[in-house]
Amino acid sequence: MPELLTHVLVGFTLATVLSWYTRWLTAPYVTVAMVGAVTPDLSRFDLLFPAKAIEAALGIPFDWWAFHTLGGTVLVVALGGLLTPTAYRRGVVAMLALGALSHHGLDLLLVNPSGYAYPVFWPLTQYHPPTPGFYLSSDRWPAFFAGVGATVVWAIDHRR
C-alpha cells in the first residue's frame, strides 16, 4: 500500500501548490485531485471481481487493466465530469486529470524487469516507453518523501 499512499500525497501536493496561484482551486478541488490520483488503480478491482467472471456475465471481452491507461483515465475523468454539477465541472475534470496524470507519471518511474513501462498511451498506441527504474511499488521511501513533501506544503499552506 505504500504506492497508493504516495499517489494520494503527490496529488495533494501538486493541487495545493497550484491552489496558491489559482483562485478557484479551493480545498474541495484538492480532494478531487487526490481522488483522481487513485483512479488508475481502479484496475485493482480485478482482485474483487475477476475479469473472467465479468466477461462471463456480460458476454463481451473485458479487462480491468484498461483503467490503468490513458484511455481508461479519459473515460473515468469524463464520467466524473458528467456526474458533477455544471458549475463545478471544469474544476473537477481538471483536478481528476491532474491526479490521474500524476499517477501515470509516477508509475512510469517504476522498476520493471523488461526495462519498459506498461502501454500507458493505449488506445492511441501500444508503445511501451522505457522506464528509468527508480523504485519498486513496494518500496517505502517514495511514500516517506511524498509524506515529507506533503507535510511541508501543508505547513506552508496553513501559514498563508
Distance from C-alpha of 63 to C-alpha of 67, rounded to nearest angstrom: 9
Report the pLDDT value the prediction gives residue 10, as an integer from 0 to 100: 98
C-alpha cell at 114: 523488461
Which pLDDT score, from 0 to 100, does residue 137 have? 86
pLDDT cut 90: percent of the chain above it: 89
How much is the pTM?
Answer: 0.92
**What's the DSSP call for residue 156?**
H
Per the prediction, the chain carries an average pLDDT of: 94
Q: Burial code of 47-84, b = ≥16 C-beta within 10 A, e = fewer?
A: eeeebeebeeeeeeebebebbbbbbbbeebbeebbeeb
Which amino acid would we find at residue 157? D
Question: pLDDT value at position 37?
Answer: 98
At 120 the pLDDT is 92
Average pLDDT of the residues in 77-90 = 97
pLDDT of residue 1: 52
Q: What is the mean pLDDT of residues 19-44?
A: 96
Mean pLDDT over residues 114-130, rounded? 92
Nearest Cα residue to 111 out of 78, 84, 74, 136? 136
